[in-house]
């Protein structure tokens, strides 16, 4: 007697079930990687120029600082995985906004808990030592605003609390950062910027109004896709972020 075989996988229903299972597994793995190892981010503002430009797309290492395990619709992560190390001065860090729910920001770590930050007439000092601008950082406004009108050019001295990190943009005169909203607590840290995988000049928009932002972004991207090769900054592709 020939062996009995199960032919259920040859039916359309069995094939559809296998296909759906494969998709679910792939989506699950992608979400796991995104949540714990690496995530893509987009630069929407010029606060990190000329280190990062508007229109840069980058990958961030979420594993190094202990990835926050997040759940959609929750503003706080459920828990964090063990970290290899904390953010250090000089790192370019992605973190949750302290003032806008669901928004991510990217700045350079200037000081960590216990250090003293001071800005005197546009010059930055940490623990009394002068900290020069990053190689591609810039200051474009020759004015030095008094502390009574703005913390931009005269700030502190301020001691960073433990388990907090003081962040500043490389575009010092055009960055809303820890000088304005204070130090970033560890629980809001998401990852360390690694590499630029795409970069393109923005197209003015939106082309439509009254739609959700996600639909606006998708519509503008689709309508301008044919111009992408001419707007791309090919020289920035693969740039390691320092």
CATH number of the domain where residue 232 is located: 2.10.109.10
**Residue 194 included in any domain:** yes
Question: Would you call 32 exposed, middle or buried from its count of C-beta atoms within 10 A (0-12, 13-18, 19+)?
Answer: exposed
Residue with tokens 């990062």: 52
**Residue 188 included in any domain:** yes
The region of weakest confidence among 101-110, 116-125, 161-170, 226-235 is 226-235
The contacts of residue 158 (CB under 8 Å, 6+ apart) are: 116, 117, 118, 166
**Residue 16 included in any domain:** no
Region 187-197 average pLDDT: 94
pTM (2 decimals)? 0.77
**Residue 44 included in any domain:** yes
Instruction: With beta carbons less than 8 A apart as the criterion, state whether 61 and 194 touch.
Output: yes
**Residue 71 included in any domain:** yes
Instruction: With beta carbons less than 8 A apart as the criterion, state whether 73 and 102 touch.
Output: no
For every residue of 112-181, DSSP letters joined together read ETT-EEEEETTEEEETTEEEPPPTT-B--------TTT-SSSSEEEEEPPTTEEEEE-SBGGG--SHHHH
**Residue 9 included in any domain:** no
> Helix, strand, coil shares of the chain as percentages rounded to 5?
25, 30, 45
Count how many domains the chain has.
Answer: 1
Give the phi and the psi of residue 232 in degrees, each rounded to 5.
-75, 140
Q: How confident is the model at residue 181 (pLDDT cuts 50, 70, 90)?
A: very high
CA–CA distance, 106 with 83 (Å, rounded to integer):
19
Q: Is the pLDDT of residue 137 over 90?
A: yes
CA–CA distance, 196 with 48 (Å, rounded to integer):
14
Highest mean pLDDT among 11-20, 78-87, 119-128: 119-128
- pLDDT reported for residue 230: 81
Instruction: With beta carbons less than 8 A apart as the criterion, state whether 127 and 49 touch.
Output: no
- pLDDT reported for residue 39: 85
Side by side, which strands form the sheet with 56-61? 38-42, 56-61, 189-199, 92-96, 104-112, 164-168, 184-185
**Residue 223 included in any domain:** yes
- pLDDT reported for residue 102: 78
Model confidence pLDDT, tens digit, residues 35-72: 456 788 989 899 999 999 998 999 999 889 987 766 66
Q: Is the pLDDT of residue 92 over 50?
A: yes
**Residue 72 included in any domain:** yes
Mean predicted lDDT score pLDDT of the chain: 83
Tokens coding 39: 């995530």
For residue 42, what are the domain limits? Answer: 33-111+163-236
Q: 238 or 211, which is more confident?
A: 238
Report whether the peptide linkage leading into residue 206 is cis, meaning its omega lies within 30 degrees of zero: yes
Highest mean pLDDT among 39-48, 92-101, 107-116: 107-116
CB count, 10 Å around CB of 20?
10
């Amino acid at each position: 007697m020939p062996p009995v075989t199960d032919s259920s996988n040859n039916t359309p229903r069995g094939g559809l079930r296998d296909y759906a299972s494969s998709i679910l597994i792939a989506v699950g793995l992608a979400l796991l990687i995104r949540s714990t190892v690496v995530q893509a981010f987009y630069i929407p503002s010029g606060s990190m120029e000329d280190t990062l430009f508007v229109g840069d797309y980058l990958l961030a290492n979420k594993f190094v600082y202990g990835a926050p395990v997040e759940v959609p619709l929750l503003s706080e992560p459920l828990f964090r995985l063990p970290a290899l190390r904390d953010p250090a001065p000089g790192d370019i860090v992605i973190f949750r906004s302290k003032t806008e729910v669901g928004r991510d920001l990217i700045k350079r770590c200037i000081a960590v808990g216990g250090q003293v930050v001071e800005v005197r007439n546009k010059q930055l000092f940490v623990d009394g030592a002068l900290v020069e601008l990053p190689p591609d950082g810039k200051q474009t406004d020759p004015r030095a605003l008094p502390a009574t009108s703005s913390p931009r050019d005269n700030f502190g001295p301020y001691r960073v609390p433990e388990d907090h990190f003081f962040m500043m943009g490389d575009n010092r005169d055009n960055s809303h950062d820890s000088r304005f909203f204070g130090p970033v607590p560890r629980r809001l840290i998401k990852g360390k910027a690694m590499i630029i995988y795409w970069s393109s000049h923005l197209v003015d928009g939106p082309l439509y109004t009254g739609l959700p932002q996600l639909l606006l972004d998708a519509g503008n991207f689709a309508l301008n896709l044919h111009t992408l090769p001419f707007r791309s900054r090919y020289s920035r592709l693969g740039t390691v972020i320092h």
